[in-house]
Amino acid sequence: MRTSEYKIQAGEYAAVVTARAGALRELRHRGRDLIVPFPAGGPIPDFRGIIAAPWPNRIPDGRYTFDSVDYEVPVNEPERACALHGFAFGTAWTLESRDESSVELSCTLEPTPGYPFRLHLTARYRLSAEGLLSRVTAANTGVDAAPFGVCPHPYLLAGPAPLDEWTLQIPAGSFLEVTPDRLLPVATRSVVGHALDFRTPRTIGATEIDHAFTAVAFDAGGRAQLTVRDPGGTGVGMAWDRSCPWLQVHTADKQPPSPNRLGLAVEPMTCPPDAFNSGEDLVRLEPGATHEAAWSIFAA
């Protein structure tokens, strides 16, 4: 059975949002893909376009402690023994409103033994002449404070050339060093003198990136922007606000027979990997409280 999906359009932009995972399935500008799409119906490959909540990135072994209580959530990355990207992506989201250029979906995360909190999530996608603006609101509708984090998971497409030929700019002064086997946090390092320093635009080349960045440079209006450009002249950008002080970037490196480096995953995050244990930038959502995060994608 095919999952419901919603097409929206404004000016030269068009998008498709699916009820499954509240995911962005397609985003096009003048007919050109700005993100790696996925087929209608069936599974969503590599978490493309999902809303990752109530945590972004990973929790090692699915275990964490919150308010002195130990919890365990299911591991869904068995090769690294981690719980990835929350569980909102496994939920069918409900249509709340829709018009020609926007759609709003919602879902409720009911309490489970590993996450005994109740959250109501709303995702609004709106197209304009400036691109696609996405906004996710989380409301704690339960009786206890809840740990929370969120991020989007699009794979950006600069153009038809191979990813190695794209030019990338990342507005971040530090990155999170991780273990090579499980990608678990080690320490925050400066990008100065490192292969991950993309503060000045340069070609990606053979650099493999699967890291969280921070010390993000926000402008006076509280906005940061990443851009990636194809040598043929096309490009795509992503912007976000101060609700996301972290940014995961991944060059989508895969082993055969999987398609390798097919797009650039760009994920503005409210907190770093394993924040449910470290507590760093973790949102503590009190009963009745709400949290909002926003980001946009546009042709550059």
The candidate with the shortest Cα–Cα distance to 49, out of 271, 234, 297, is: 297
C-beta separation of 152 from 24 below 8 A: yes
Residue-level pLDDT at 209: 98
What's the CA gap between 288 and 119, in Å, rounded? 10
Q: How far apart are CA 33 and CA 98, in angstroms?
A: 23
CB atoms within 10 A of CB 128: 14
Residue 2: the pLDDT is 56
The tens-digit pLDDT sequence of the chain (300 residues) is 456 999 999 999 999 999 999 999 999 999 999 999 999 988 899 999 999 999 999 999 999 999 999 999 999 999 999 999 999 999 999 999 999 999 999 999 999 999 999 999 999 999 999 999 999 999 999 999 999 999 999 999 999 999 999 999 999 999 999 999 999 999 999 999 999 999 999 999 999 999 999 999 999 999 999 999 999 999 999 999 999 999 999 999 998 888 899 999 999 999 999 999 999 999 999 999 999 999 999 999
Encoding tokens for residue 156?
């950006």
Tell me the CA end-to-end span of the chain in Å, nearest whole number: 37
CA 109 to CA 115: how far, in whole Å? 9
Cβ-contact 262, 155 below 8 angstroms: yes
pTM for this predicted structure = 0.97
